[in-house]
Amino acid sequence: MNWGILVPIAAIVIGPLTWVLHTWIRAKHGYPLQDKKGNLIGREEPRLRQENDALRETVQRLEARLQVLERIATDPAERTAREIESLRETPHAVGDR
């Protein structure tokens, strides 16, 4: 067999094959892809965006609750008791409960 012709063919084929393999691995693992000019391309991940939005809302609600707990912990006991009593005395609408 003539091995002399296989060396240039292998040299020409290995470059594009490694590029295809590299791009496939990056796409498989979710890394952003780039075109020839360096601009980011790729598919949109609406599921990931929705999950991030839900997590942001959860963090905001938890921060608000934490602020209330911090206020309760740092306020004097008599003031907290007054506020609780004022809430009990406030009439609520039927749909609030």
Domain locations in the chain as residue ranges: 10-43, 45-90
Looking at the chain, the number of H-run helices and the number of E-run strands are 3, 2
CA angle, 14 then 16 then 19, to 5°:
105
- Note if the pTM is more than 0.85: no
- Picking from 94, 64, 68, 66, the residue whose alpha carbon sits closest to that of residue 83 is 68
Task: Tell whether the model's pLDDT for residue 57 goes beyond 90.
Answer: yes
15-24: per-residue pLDDT in tens? 999 989 988 8
**Residue-wise pLDDT tens digits, 59-80:** 999 999 999 888 878 877 787 7
Percent of the chain with pLDDT over 70: 88
pLDDT of residue 82 exceeding 80, the answer is yes
- According to the model, what pLDDT value does residue 97 have? 47
